[in-house]
Chains A and B, each alone.
Chain A
Amino acid sequence: MDDLTCHNLDAYIGGWLTHDERTEFEAHLKQCTACRDELGRQQQIDRLLGEASQHLQPPPADLVERVRQALEAARWRRRVVRVAAGLAAAAAILLAVLVISPERDSPSARRVPAVHTPKRTVTHVGPPSELSPVQQLAVWMASRKASSPGTAEYPRPRVPVFAIAPHVALAGKTPGQPTQITQPSEKTVDGDKKSKVVRGAEPFNARPNPSLRTLAERRLTVRVLAAPLRPANHETKLPDIHVKETRSCRLHLTVSSEHALCG
């Protein structure tokens, strides 16, 4: 038995030999009894294996049906999951639309320009939705901060304070400067809007003023959404509002918008 040639028996059985190798091995088979026996044995094994597999117990008669039912159940599960996910997404979007204004993420809502012209009178009387609820809330929070005494570590922010009650607008001034409080329907300040200007008032962060305190209380009892702020004319910029400081306020808005915005 030629070991080198006999070694090709498996390759011959598997059909992995080239044409020349195959011819050579078939010539070898005529002379090698051991290879012929091995080849015959292998063919018998292959035949028996195929036969044995056919005689193996077939799958249960209902296995195909069970697989079909399992597939159908999986399909239903996927449909249910998709519908639930869609409903959840829709609910989340709806909630976001209801709670958060579309302007929240806009650059204008994040960055409110500072007031660089404190001498100019700023009167905010205008139709609702001139400012986003977040901006209104930021103004409201700024007024609350400004009315607090502050500490050495966290001093009171020096920001203009606006009263944002409906039909009442507070002219923003830098601290220490006189502030004008306007009321509508008395004097025209902004286009066709009429406001009554009350002079002599001081900002909240300057010193306590009874009229302003009353104004603050009124502010707290009035729904903020109904009293947006708007510059008296287009040359005046909005007051400097630190949006970062209103983060907690936004959280509050999210949890309970009605109570956060109403006094």
Chain B
Amino acid sequence: MEDLLPEYVPRVYRYALRLTHDHHVAEDIVQETFLRAWRSRRRLRNPQSVRVWLLRIATNVWRDRLRSRTRHDTSTRRLLNDVPGTAQGPGEAMAKRETLHEVLRMMDSLPPRQRQVLHLSAVEAMRLDEIARVLEITSQAAKASLSLARRAMRRQFGTFEQQV
């Protein structure tokens, strides 16, 4: 289990941060995820699917927290580091950072299921069946959620482009 930590702690953390928008809650979710994973490590029969397994546990941890606590919503802006400005002028870096902020804000405005599906698809580059296993839904449901999320993102991004 220790061998998995360097690679998968950041992944689980990013996913938890996407779900919770709170650093502290995300860290708690990461710890709880790996504790649960350690307790149920014998259920992991296929080591190839450790990413799906961990993210599914993280999803369950997040759901459990949702049931017991109110959502801590924080600004997406605080969650971003400074975008590296190499080979870019200060204006370009700022414009790009603003675009990234806006894309994340759009993503955060989606319903939780669509947000999860979009994160797993766009950030984790998961296949549809993997997304379905993480969220414990059918592939058809994952496909429908992903289509809805993409359309909503395109619609919002089109509006953003027009404003810019």
Q: Chain A residues near B125 (CB, 8 Å)? A: 50
Contact check, A63 vs B27: say whether CB atoms are below 8 A apart: yes
Q: Secondary structure of the B side of the interface?
A: helix
Q: Which of A37-45, A97-105, A210-218 contacts B (4 or more CB under 8 A)?
A: A37-45
Cβ-defined contact, A71 with B9, below 8 A: no
Q: Is there an interface contact between B146 and A14, defined as CB atoms closer than 8 Å?
A: yes
Q: Which residue of B lies closest to A67 (CB)?
A: B34
| Interface status of A187 (Cβ within 8 A of chain B) | no
Is residue B50 contacting chain A, with contact meaning CB distance below 8 A?
A: no
**Is residue A81 within 8 Å, beta carbon to beta carbon, of the partner chain?**
no
Provided the pairs A14-B146, A64-B9, A66-B31 are in contact, do residues A49 and B103 lie with their beta carbons within 8 angstroms? yes
Count CB-based A-B contacts (< 8 Å): 108
Main secondary structure on A side of the interface with B: helix
Within the complex, the shortest CB–CB distance from B147 to chain A, in Å, comes to: 4
Q: Is A87 an interface residue (CB 8 A)?
A: no
Option from B26, B104, B123, B154 in Cβ contact (under 8 Å) with A42: B154
Q: Assess whether A68 is in contact with B2, with CB atoms less than 8 Å apart.
A: yes
Residues of A within 8 Å of B10, CB to CB, are 58-59
User: Which of A49, A58, A60 sits near B123, CB closer than 8 Å?
Assistant: A49
B9 near A49: Cβ-Cβ < 8 Å: no
Query: Which residues of B come within 8 Å of A, CB atoms?
Result: 1-2, 5-6, 9-10, 13-14, 17-18, 23, 26-27, 30-31, 34-35, 38-39, 79-81, 83-84, 99-100, 103-104, 107, 118-119, 121-123, 125, 128, 143, 146-147, 150-151, 153-154, 157-158, 161
